[in-house]
Amino acid sequence: MRQGISKFDDLVACFEKLPGVGKKSALKYAYHVSLVDSFSGLNLAHSIEDAVSFLKRCQKCGALSENEICDICADLDRDRSLICLVESPKDLLVLEQSKVYNGLYFVLDDVNNEIVEKLRLAIKENGTSEVIFALTPGINSDGIMLYIEDKLQDFNLHFSKIAQGIPTGVSLDNVDMLSLMKAMSSRMDT
């Protein structure tokens, strides 16, 4: 058995499990945080521990939050007549960065009865008038939109989608900010 640096190997293996990190980068990161700048390394370890133990999902919209209800849902200055449907909490962060939208969000995660019920509740609570789909364009998203519209047809809602400038099959976090802002401000009917 090889002696000595199994702890280093473990660290490399941890980095390698992260999305988009290959063997070479994993080695570089492990070397950096354990030897080049161990202060940053410890900071990183603490930040990860904090984030993992304190971050949860907002009970209303599914966003990442430190509280039961996220800052967006709790913010009375947001336009409550708008609700924007996204596929993941990550997409929500991308849209928030663009600062072009001031309504509420709802994270779909998976499309099932439970999620639909939660969404219906949010719409009732907020008196929503427009539902905006901000999904990755594609066959799958067309199906999701049809399904959701059908499930919400007893409400008096306007449905729109952000689409212009966003290529089919490209996830929101790979779309440049300008295209995203254009897509949100010139959204169209479904």
Interaction site with Zn ion (CB under 5 A): 58, 60-61, 63, 70, 73
Q: Using CA atoms of 141, 147, 107, 69 in order, give the dihedral in degrees to the nearest 10.
A: 170
CB 17, CB 48: distance < 8 Å: no
At its nearest, how many Å lie between Zn ion and the CB of residue 69? 6
| Nearest CB to Zn ion, comparing residues 61 and 86 | 61
At its nearest, how many Å lie between Zn ion and the CB of residue 105? 7
At its nearest, how many Å lie between Zn ion and the CB of residue 126? 11
| Nearest CB to Zn ion, comparing residues 12 and 94 | 94
| Cα–Cα nearest to 148, from 114, 111, 122 | 111
At its nearest, how many Å lie between Zn ion and the CB of residue 32? 35
| Nearest CB to Zn ion, comparing residues 12 and 72 | 72
| Nearest CB to Zn ion, comparing residues 79 and 142 | 79
Residue type for position 54: F
Q: What is the 3-state secondary structure (H, E, C) of 124-188?
A: HHHCCCEEEEECCCCHHHHHHHHHHHHHCCCCCCEEEECCCCCCCCCCHHHCCHHHHHHHHHCCE
